[in-house]
Structure 1
Amino acid sequence: MPLPFLTADRAFETGADDIALPFDDHDQWRRPYRPGPYRVGTAALLLLLASFVLLSAMIIAFAAEVTGALIVFGVGAGLIACALRILRLGVWVSRAGLRRVGFFSTVTVPWDQTSHVRTVQQPVRWLGLPRTVQGQALVMDRQGGAALPPLLTDHDADFLSRVEAFDRAADTIEAWGEEYRGR
């Protein structure tokens, strides 16, 4: 079974440093980095919890409590949906623009509406919690002044303790912006 999210860094691993945009099809939305261990671990724990909840739904159904089994099955399906959504979070790029996928919302900005995509030093949230630390963030400036939250930080669930991966992802997204902003 092909797992396309595992091939995001493949061009960088093979030493092809001259390839800024390592994908053949630039019209398809792609995340130019792998999901981090904290994001994958959280999703795995949610799926583990969902398996126990679905097992309990089956036991409740065998006990002839259909209403209770349906409620517990719905909770298990909700846990699976949350785990899949957590794995989809992040920044996705294509020729059409940049897409920031959040848990509850998705914002898509065409490249021609951006003025800069750059890395800055600023206080960033640690794993998305209210606590802030000094770090790096990839920010996008829109033409019109409307600001988005930082696209990526070096202290989020994808890049905590993976500085090289953050630098590669930020450079790749900046290269996509430089390539398609003027078109």
Structure 2
Amino acid sequence: MPLPFLTADRTFEAASESALPYDDRERWRRPYRPGPWRVAVAALVLLLASFVLFAAVLIALSGSVFTADVSSAGVVLGIGIVVIAVALRLLRMGVWVSERGLRQVGFLTTRTVPWARVVSVRTAQQPVRWLGLPRTVQGQALMLVRKDRRAEGAAPLLTTHTLDFLGRPAGFDRAADAVEAWAAENRRG
């Protein structure tokens, strides 16, 4: 089963004449690949889900139809499905772009900003949160400046110390350049 949200389109990595080498610009896409740390964490969560689902099967097979073991197996099965949903949401997190705007997908929230409300997208050197934890380190952040909000206190779109770009500064630079190119192209049009 192909997972289109897991990989970025290969056309961004190929040298091309256009900054936005897509035929279907209406489709939401992530202009970078998820980082190895994000994929590794999701793989571990899916491994945990496989154990939970296996436990649900064992619980269902060990009990009779008329006992409470079947309902226990259903609860464990539900927990396994929730764990799978968590892993898929973790893989879906990040910045997505289309002709309509910029979308920042978080674990629990999704914010979409139309290009008409975007003033600028720029890279800034500043303290950033390390892996989303309260600890901050010096790094780079891709900041979105909107017409209806001030730039101070705005959460960065991407940073060099997230699961996608930890230890990959060149990957951050490519992703920031791609998002900036989408912003420049769509603010003009």
TMscore range, shorter length: over 0.9
Query: Superposed, which structure 2 residues align to 1:112-151 within 5 Å?
Result: 112-145=116-149, 148-151=154-157
Query: Superposed, which structure 2 residues align to 1:65-80 within 5 Å?
Result: 65-80=69-84
Unaligned stretches of 5+ in structure 2? Answer: 64-68
1:83 equivalenced with 2:87 (yes/no): yes
**Residue matched to 1:34:** 33
Bigger shift: 118-127 or 20-29? 20-29
Query: Superposed, which structure 2 residues align to 1:99-178 within 5 Å?
Result: 99-145=103-149, 148-178=154-184
Say if 2:165 and 2:172, in contact at 8 Å, map to a contact too.
Answer: yes
Distance across 1 between alignment mates of 2:131 and 2:123: 18
CA-CA distance at 1:5 after TM superposition:
4.8
Could you say what the CA RMSD is over the residues aligned between the two structures, in angstroms? 1.6
TM-score of the superposed pair, with normalisation by structure 1: 0.93
Distance across 1 between alignment mates of 2:7 and 2:77: 34
Distance across 1 between alignment mates of 2:114 and 2:10: 26
CA-CA distance at 1:146 after TM superposition:
5.1
**Residue matched to 2:100:** 96
TM-score of the superposed pair, with normalisation by structure 2: 0.90
Bigger shift: 64-73 or 17-26? 17-26
Letter in 2 for 1:10: R
Letter in 2 for 1:8: A
**Residue matched to 1:10:** 10
Unaligned stretches of 5+ in structure 1? Answer: none
Percent identity over the alignment? 63
1:19 equivalenced with 2:21 (yes/no): no
Say if 1:112 and 1:182, in contact at 8 Å, map to a contact too.
Answer: no
- SS of aligned partner of 2:128: strand
The number of residues matched between the two structures is 182
Structure showing greater Rg: 2
Letter in 2 for 1:165: G
